Each structure stands twice: as C-alpha cells, then as structure tokens.
C-alpha cells in the first residue's frame, strides 16, 4: 500500500475532530466514498483545503451541520428494488400477520423514502394500525424531512413503476396530494411512526423488534462497523425476527452469518435463527 497523501491525513484528522467535538462517529466509514463526499463539500463550502474546513467545523456548529448534509447520503428512492418489497409482501408479511402487534425498525431512514414505502405496504396488508415503526437516522435534517413527508412530485411520479412492480394494490397517487411541484404524503401513514436520532456507530438497542430494515446503509461502513450494526439488529430482533438488507449487502462473510438464515437470499431477506 502506498503512503497516505497529505489530503488523506487531513481527512482522517477532520473525521477525528468531528468525533471529538460533536460525537458524530464517521471513523469507521468506508474511505473512498467518504473522501469523495468531503471533497464535494470542500467545493460547496468554498474551502481551499480539508484543514481549512476542519478549522471552520471546529469553531462553527452551523458549518458542521452543513457538512453533515454532505457526509450522510440522502440518495434513495421509494420502493427501490421492487422485487425486495414484493418478497417482503409475499414471504414476510404472512408471518407478520400472526403477531397481535408489530414493531419495525427502519435503521438509517434518511429522508424517509424507505419508510413511506414500508408504511404503504403495511397499510395495504392491513398491518399498519397495529404496527409501531421506529425510523432512525443520525442526520436531524433528514429526519425532519422524513417527518414532513413532502417529496418532489417529479421524483414521486418516477416511483410509480417501482410501486406497481412491488405488488402495489392501489394507484400510487392515492397516497399523496400533489401541489405545484411537490407531493405531500398522507399523514395517516406516519401516525404510528416514532422518529429518533440514533447512531449505529455509537448508540445501543432501544427496543425489541420483529422486522429490521437497513438498506444501503452498511455499504458505507467498514467491516468492523458493519459487525457492530448487525450485532445491534440481532439483539433487537425477537426470536425468529426478520432482517432486510440492500441488494449489495450480505451477512455471508460476517461473524453474525450463523445467527441468521436466508429467507429470500436474492432479495437479502434474512431470518433470525
């Protein structure tokens, strides 16, 4: 391996400074995409170097909040990977229906696209009224946006095909009100949603759950942090509880591999042994 460049050293120091000052722990995030996001933030925040950004971040919490928006990855869509939601509907929901009440954890919910997809699915399966959904993220701005349930109309329209491919039973537009270029999602979808600031890197388990969905979050973690997150999910899940991961995520090479069995392997849906 070649020696770290100056900018890589600066990056490491910035991440350490953020942890010491604000307790946000990005130290075990995968390096390549983190570097890309910091370099992008540099340009947007008009800093010449990462060291200059570090000084600003240390002395100005507002700059940190701005940087946090770049460090976290809000890119997501509703019913991303429709086959995953179809598999949830066909192969997990029948088990969920056997519980009198349900607790579901959307870990790393970002701006809420995954959350609304899940709420719509639960509603159509008659489970929403007896479910409590915990939607957690480390970014307070993302959580606020998720709570508001307002998305760009253009993007929402592009999710319609996903919704249908995911086995949607209604017309997707039944779930939102369009106004100008925005789509406001039905408030009732979030009646039983508890939004919370929670870090998979530093916080512990807060509730027993029947289903944990954490998709395209752990790809940004290094192996150690992935192990920590999977440990939290395992601890939170009830006996024979379900875990849904992103299409590029797997527990096969994890120390927790034996604690789960694949339920729908292709869609990365696992069940606690």
Partner 1 sequence: MANVESAQRITAESSGENLEEKIKKRNIEAIVIGTSAGGIKALLGLLGNLPQNIPVPIIIVLHMPESRETRLAEVFQHHIATKVVIAEDKDRIKPGRVYFAGPGYHLSIERDRSFSVSCEDPVHYSRPSIDVLMASAADAYGAALAGILLTGANQDGAEGMARIHEMGGLTVVQDPAEAEIAVMPKSALDLFNPDFVFPLQEIQKFIFRVEQC
What contacts 42, CB < 8 A, 6 or more positions away? 48, 49, 50, 53
Size of the site for partner 1 (CB under 8 A): 28
Beta-ladder partners of 245: 214
> If binding is defined by CB under 8 A, does position 139 make contact with partner 1?
no
Query: Whole-angstrom Cα distance, residue 191 to residue 189?
Result: 6
Residues in the chain: 273
Contact by Cβ (8 Å): 131, 201 = no
> If binding is defined by CB under 8 A, does position 83 make contact with partner 1?
yes
192 or 247: whose CB is closer to partner 1?
247
194 or 250: whose CB is closer to partner 1?
250
Instruction: Determine which residue in the list 6, 23, 33, 44 makes contact with partner 1, applying CB under 8 A.
Output: 33
> If binding is defined by CB under 8 A, does position 199 make contact with partner 1?
no
Instruction: Determine which residue in the list 249, 260, 270, 272 makes contact with partner 1, applying CB under 8 A.
Output: 249
Query: Whole-angstrom Cα distance, residue 241 to residue 139?
Result: 27
> If binding is defined by CB under 8 A, does position 223 make contact with partner 1?
yes
79 or 127: whose CB is closer to partner 1?
79
47 or 225: whose CB is closer to partner 1?
225
Contact by Cβ (8 Å): 14, 54 = yes
Instruction: Determine which residue in the list 28, 37, 38, 135 makes contact with partner 1, applying CB under 8 A.
Output: 37
> If binding is defined by CB under 8 A, does position 247 make contact with partner 1?
yes
Instruction: Determine which residue in the list 45, 58, 65, 73 makes contact with partner 1, applying CB under 8 A.
Output: 73
List of E strands, the chain: 102-107, 131-137, 150-152, 176-179, 182-185, 193-197, 209-214, 237-245, 260-264, 269-272
> If binding is defined by CB under 8 A, does position 123 make contact with partner 1?
no
Q: By CB under 8 A, what part of segment 2-31 binds partner 1?
A: 2, 4-5, 8, 30-31
Query: Whole-angstrom Cα distance, residue 62 to residue 56?
Result: 9
CA distance readout (Å), 156 to 80, 170, 181, 207, 209: 12, 15, 10, 32, 29
Judged by CB under 8 A, the stretch of 15-23, 74-82, 111-119, 168-176 that binds partner 1 is 74-82
> If binding is defined by CB under 8 A, does position 131 make contact with partner 1?
no
Contact by Cβ (8 Å): 233, 212 = yes
- Which residue bears the tokens 């929402």? 156
- Least separation in angstroms between CB 133 and partner 1: 22
> If binding is defined by CB under 8 A, does position 76 make contact with partner 1?
yes
> If binding is defined by CB under 8 A, does position 182 make contact with partner 1?
no
Residues that bind partner 1 (CB under 8 A): 1-2, 4-5, 8, 30-33, 35-37, 73, 75-76, 81-83, 216, 219-220, 223, 226, 247-250, 253
């Amino acid at each position: 391996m070649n020696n770290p460049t100056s900018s890589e050293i600066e990056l490491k120091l910035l991440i350490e400074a953020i942890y010491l000052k604000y307790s946000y722990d990005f130290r075990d995030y995968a390096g390549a995409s983190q570097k890309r996001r910091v370099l992008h933030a540099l340009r947007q925040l008009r800093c010449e170097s990462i060291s200059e950004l570090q000084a600003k971040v240390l002395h100005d919490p507002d700059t940190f909040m701005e940087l946090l928006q770049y460090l976290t990855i809000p890119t997501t869509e509703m019913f991303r990977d429709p086959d995953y939601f179809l598999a949830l509907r066909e192969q997990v929901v029948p088990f969920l229906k056997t519980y009198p009440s349900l607790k579901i954890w959307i870990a790393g919910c970002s701006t809420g696209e995954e959350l609304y997809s899940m709420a719509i699915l639960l509603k159509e399966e008659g489970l929403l009224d007896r479910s409590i959904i915990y939607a957690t993220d480390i970014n307070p701005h993302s959580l606020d946006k998720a709570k508001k349930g307002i998305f760009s109309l253009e993007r929402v329209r592009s999710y319609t095909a996903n919704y249908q491919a995911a086995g949607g039973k209604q017309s997707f537009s039944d779930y939102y009100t369009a106004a100008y270029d925005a789509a406001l999602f039905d408030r009732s979808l979030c009646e039983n949603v508890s939004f919370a600031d929670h870090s998979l890197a530093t916080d512990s388990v807060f509730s027993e759950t029947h289903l944990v969905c954490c998709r395209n979050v752990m790809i940004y973690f290094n192996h150690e942090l992935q192990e920590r997150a999977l440990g939290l999910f395992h601890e939170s899940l009830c006996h024979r509880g379900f875990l849904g991961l992103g299409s590029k995520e797997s527990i096969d090479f994890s120390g927790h591999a034996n604690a789960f069995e694949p339920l729908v392997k292709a869609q990365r849906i696992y069940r606690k042994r």
